[in-house]
Structure formats: C-alpha cells, structure tokens
Amino acid sequence: MKALIISDNHGDQQILEQVTQSWQDRVDFMIHCGDSEMVPTLPVMQRFDVAAQGNNDWGLEYSLEQTVVKDKRRIYATHGHRYQVNSTLTPLMLKGQEQRADMVCYGHTHQLAVTVEDGMLMINPGSISLPRGQYAGLGGTYAVVGIDDERFSVDYYTRDNQPVADLHFVFNR
C-alpha cells in the first residue's frame, strides 16, 4: 500500500490541486492531517480518503480523528493539537497504540518528523505551505509512505513534487 500524507496548507487550494493531481493515480490512499481551512465539499478535498480537523478549521465538518483500515493496515489520522505534539509524542503514541494503528499521521507543528515506535510509524508530513524548523528552507513538504509486511518506506517531497534525497527512510516493522 502507498499513501500520500499532507497537512497545514492553510487555505492554499492551488498546492493541494497540484499535489493530488500529480499523485492520484500513483497512491492507494490520500490523507490530509488538518488545517486545510477549506470546506470539505470542495472537489480537491473530496480526493482525500481521510481529512482531519485542525485547530484552524473552525466550523468545518471534519473529524477530529479517524482510524481507517486500508489493505489490512490500520491508519490513525489527527491534526495533533489535542495531543501536545509541540512538546512530546507520548500522548499521540499511546492513542495510536490504543487504536492498534500501523501508522499514525499528524500535523500541527509545521515540521516534518518520522519515527517508528513499537512497530508503529508516526509521521508528520510537515506543512506544505508554512513550513517551520530545520527544513523550512525547502518551502513546504508532504510525504509518501509505502507499507508492506516487512517495512515502511518514507519519502518527503517539496511543493514542486521533487523528492528530497536526504529525506528517504526505510524502517523495519
């Protein structure tokens, strides 16, 4: 299974159009981790299999969190603001374990991050529009994750759909 994960576009519809059109036939699943600031009925938002409600998605009809099963893989998605992700991943990790997730997707920090804890991939794609932190100079990122029985393969991409060579990771499950 291959999933595209994106977050924190903050109203930038054009970038979502560009990225989803480029990947819609190359991934099995698309996840938006919140702060789209766009109504869920927009055609571009309809392309996402999962779209979480972020702290800036006031009054928009998105779920705060969602667990889905795709190709026998359990995926938990949330924005992260309710789990203190700016200072620790422990509450989010515990929630992922409670959900028996294979992969936990979150945003909110605007900083890309990826780790594996007890066989569970925890991934933040960074912000596609307002990046912060060490990789802010890339101008925005999203992630594509491959999952099989033995490993996770993670690649980060820039706004112009270019892979970032230094941001390719393979984790054993």
Looking up residue 13, the CATH number of its domain turns out to be: 3.60.21.10
Residue with tokens 């804890």: 117
Residues pairing with 117 in the sheet:
120
Q: Count up the domains in the chain and report the number.
A: 1
How confident is the model at residue 71, as a pLDDT? 92
Computed over every residue of the chain, the mean pLDDT equals 97
Task: Tell me the pLDDT of the chain (173 aa) as tens digits.
Answer: 999 999 999 999 999 999 999 999 999 999 999 999 999 999 999 999 999 999 999 999 999 999 999 999 999 999 999 999 999 999 999 999 999 999 999 999 999 999 999 999 999 999 999 999 999 999 999 999 999 999 999 999 999 999 999 999 999 98
Residue range(s) defining the domain that contains residue 43: 2-172
Longest Cα pair distance anywhere in the chain, in angstroms?
41
DSSP character at residue 131? -
pLDDT for 58-94, tens place per residue? 999 999 999 999 999 999 999 999 999 999 999 999 9
* DSSP per-residue letters across 31-97: EE-S---S-TTSHHHHT-SEEB--TT-TT---BSEEEEEETTEEEEEE-SGGGTTTT-SHHHHHHHH
Q: Strand, coil or helix: what is 166?
A: strand
Query: Structure tokens of 172?
Result: 């054993």
How confident is the model at residue 143, as a pLDDT? 98
